[in-house]
């Protein structure tokens, strides 16, 4: 029986960092996969990368429509921003290019997420206090629809 030699894990070569905090933001698994792919492709000096929805979809095994949905989720959560690009053909026509993704610092994202959670908690607490006060006063409340 032969012994297979495994390569050592070089922390710089063939790996990229995925922040631990990404798992505490309530993202879906596909959004994390898209984010991971963008981090893998990002320029470490500019924190940007160029990628099409099709390219991302092929890498993570999802359709273009699905990728578009999860890119929107990442933008909504403040992890990335996108910018449209354009290209000029040899005959002078202008075409839409890939999106340019700007990967925002995870510390900023965590701060914003925490602030949003605190605001939601404050609103919820204020709503509960108001409902209790209305109940004490005997005011009928309208059911809240969802």
3-state secondary structure of 130: helix
- Per domain, the residue ranges of the chain are 20-105
CATH T-level fold of 20-105? Arc Repressor Mutant, subunit A (1.10.10)
pLDDT tens across 17-76, in order? 788 888 888 899 999 999 999 999 988 888 899 999 999 999 999 999 999 999 999 999
- Which of 92-106 are b and which e, b meaning 16 or more Cβ less than 10 Å from the residue's Cβ? eeeeeebbebebbeb
Upper half-sphere CA count for residue 90 (Cβ side, 13 Å): 0
pLDDT tens across 32-46, in order? 999 999 999 988 888
Q: What single DSSP character describes residue 11?
A: S
Read off the pLDDT of each residue in 73-98 and give the average, rounded to a whole number: 89
Residue 132, token pair as written in the block: 């209790």
pLDDT attached to residue 127: 93
Query: Pairing mode, if any, of strands 80-88 and 48-51?
Result: unpaired
- The string of DSSP letters for 88-127 reads E-TTS-EEEEEEEEEEPPHHHHHHHHHHHHHHHHHHHHHH
Read off the pLDDT of each residue in 135-144 and give the average, rounded to a whole number: 72
pLDDT tens across 103-126, in order? 988 888 888 888 888 999 999 999
Please give the order of strands across the beta sheet that includes 48-51.
48-51, 94-103, 80-88
- The string of DSSP letters for 39-97 reads HHHSBTTTTEEEE-HHHHHHHHT--HHHHHHHHHHHHHTTSEEEEEEEEE-TTS-EEEE
């Amino acid at each position: 029986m032969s012994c297979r030699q495994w390569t050592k894990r070089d922390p710089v070569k063939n790996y990229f960092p995925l922040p631990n905090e990404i798992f505490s933001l309530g993202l879906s698994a596909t959004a994390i996969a898209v984010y991971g792919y963008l981090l893998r492709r990002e320029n470490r000096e500019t924190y940007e990368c160029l990628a099409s929805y099709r390219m991302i979809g092929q890498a993570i095994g999802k359709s273009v429509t699905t990728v578009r949905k999860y890119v929107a989720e990442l933008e909504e959560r403040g992890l990335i921003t996108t910018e449209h690009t354009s290209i000029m053909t040899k005959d002078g026509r202008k075409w839409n290019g890939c999106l340019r993704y700007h990967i925002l610092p995870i510390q900023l994202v965590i701060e914003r997420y925490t602030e949003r959670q605190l605001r939601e908690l404050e609103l919820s607490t204020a709503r509960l206090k108001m409902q209790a006060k209305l109940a004490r006063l005997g005011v009928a409340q309208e059911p809240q629809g969802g």
